Amino acid sequence: MQQFSDRITFARKRLGLSQAQLASILGVSRGACGQWEQGVSTPSVTHMIELARVTEVSFEWLATGRGNIELDIPKDPDTGVDDGQQPENLSGRPITGDLRETLIWLQKLPADKLESVIKMLRSIRNLIG
């Protein structure tokens, strides 16, 4: 069975995130992520919950190695769509690395700040066509 530290590394790498990127998303030091992945220390339960959410793995799998790695998100009975489903990536490119980190950061912004950032991005888009 995989060690906890191996599961953290696997979850991070499957999304194309560096330790520094994951640390930034979680609000911890890169060194803390490195220690988790080396098995030197273990994240708090709060960080484990956030780690599972950010890396899109089930908390049970991350914490114990049991169960399915994938999140079990119930489908909406009316639409058949996963409740937590993200919008389709229309570019055909995977959302990984810096782009993923930026999207996660944007989701955490308060509504008024997000609105300001979106307005700024729309202005930039209009400038570059």
Share of the chain above pLDDT 90, in %: 19
Contacts of 29 (CB under 8 A, 6+ apart): 23
Q: Any idea which residue has 């484990």 for tokens?
A: 48
2 Cβ neighbours under 8 A, 6+ residues apart: 10, 65
Query: Which tens digit of pLDDT belongs to each residue from 53-106?
Result: 888 888 888 888 887 787 654 444 444 444 444 444 555 566 667 777 777 777
1 confidence band (pLDDT: 50, 70, 90): low
What pLDDT is recorded for position 74? 46
Q: Which domains does the chain have, with CATH numbers?
A: 1-71+86-129 (1.10.260.40)
pTM: 0.58
The Cα 21–Cα 23 span in angstroms is 5
User: Is residue 20 pLDDT above 80, yes or no?
Assistant: yes
At 34, the pLDDT band (50, 70, 90 cuts) reads very high
Residue 36 scores a pLDDT above 90: yes
Write a three-state SS string for the chain: CCCHHHHHHHHHHHCCCCHHHHHHHHCCCHHHHHHHHHCCCCCCHHHHHHHHHHHCECHHHHHHCCCCCECCCCECCCCCCECCCCCCCCCCCCCCHHHHHHHHHHHHCCHHHHHHHHHHHHHHHHHHC
